[in-house]
Structure 1
């Protein structure tokens, strides 16, 4: 009996992986607009009934896939570790490393690029759910860094919003338009290095500006 039960569980997990892999294939080839039930069913090679049995809805299937690829959702466990280990000690270097790591991830990850394109082109329950989860994780990181900016006029959240928005646009422009932007080729290693150097410098200046406004401890 146990063997049959174990076999059924194994088959279920294999089928779920097939469905998730089919979603990924479609996203990479056709974008999120290509995610039609009949296409997922065909590429996965499984009956559509199993989508509902294992995920409840097609949206839940897509959301499950997105969460396995989204940088900030994946980062949730790491954020919890940082809360334990970095409370009161999340400084400039941590913020720089976080954003530079995100730039590299987004630049290399087609799934994330397609998700952002989908995010800015239409409303969807999947988008709303993932974006809300991103915001929750982002809030954890901002709160870790907030002590650096207390009693200053520095707006860390607006600064990071502009940097991440810039990362999104520059990477997508390089991938889709395949042309220069402000005379920078972001598809080249030289262009990538230039952008990363500026991200590093902006965060450096942001923390330094806040530091100058801090009242000296007597």
Structure 2
């Protein structure tokens, strides 16, 4: 009986993977606006019944793709010590840029998420919020900096990165920065590095 269940679980994993791969392909080729359960079933070769059973809906399938690839939902909050904090934060923000720029499906589904407010999207946002708050708390513990300041700094940087990455397909230049070019993003990365160093005094000085 256990062996049978194991095969059943493996079959489900394979099917879910096929559906997630199908969503990725469809979003890249046609965007998210025209995706429906019939089209997903036809392209994946998976019955609509299984789509509903495993994901609840096509929206649930797209939300599952975001959850699997989202930088913050999958971020391991392991802040080191005060001296290493600036380097940790610089690497973190550059990681967000790299991960989101390298995944065109995720960029487009973020735009879909902005226009959605269903329960699955609410849960995604709650997951991100929990991780973000946890990270902010750890930074405050290490630095004794005011929480209100850290919250604003974190919000401005993470939201700006997400917005600019989503925008680069439609707007090649933003405030003189070529956001559709690697050189432009390197400029942004260096600017974030400078902000982190200035705010945290290179990780060593007292405020």
Please tell me the TM-score bracket, short chain as reference.
0.7 to 0.9
Say which structure is richer in helix: 1
Residues 15-40 of structure 1: CA deviation (Å, up to 9, x unaligned): 22222222222222233323311111
Counterpart pick for 1:202 among 183, 195, 206? 195
* Contact 1:19–1:40 under 8 Å retained in 2: yes
Larger radius of gyration between Structure 1 and Structure 2 = 1
2:156 matched to which residue of 1?
162
Deviation at 1:68, TM superposition (A): 1.0
Matched residue, 2:74: 74
- Mapping of residues 46-65 of structure 1, within 5 Å: 46-65=46-65
**In the TM superposition, what whole-angstrom CA distance separates every residue of 1:66-119 from its partner, at most 9, and x where no partner exists?**
2111111222xx22xx16xx3777622211111111111112121321132123
Deviations along 1:27-73, one digit per CA (max 9) or x if unpaired, are 22233323311111111112101123333444433322221111112
Match among 94, 101, 121 for residue 100 of structure 1: 94
The question of 1:184 aligning with 2:181 is answered no
CA distance in 2, matches of 1:119, 1:9: 29
Task: Give the Cα separation in 2 of the matches to 1:89 and 1:119.
Answer: 37
Please give the alpha-carbon distance, in whole angstroms, between the structure 1 residues aligned to 2:74 and 2:147. 32
Structure 1 vs Structure 2 CA RMSD = 2.7
* Equivalent-residue separation in structure 1 for 2:94 and 2:67 (angstroms): 21
Q: TM-score, normalised by structure 2?
A: 0.84
| Structure 1 residues 200 and 11: alpha-carbon distance in aligned structure 2, compared to 1, 3 A threshold | same
Separation in 1, partners of 2:112, 2:55 = 21
Number of equivalences: 206
**8 A Cα contact 1:92 1:207, kept in partner:** yes
Q: Which runs of 5+ in 2 are unaligned?
A: none
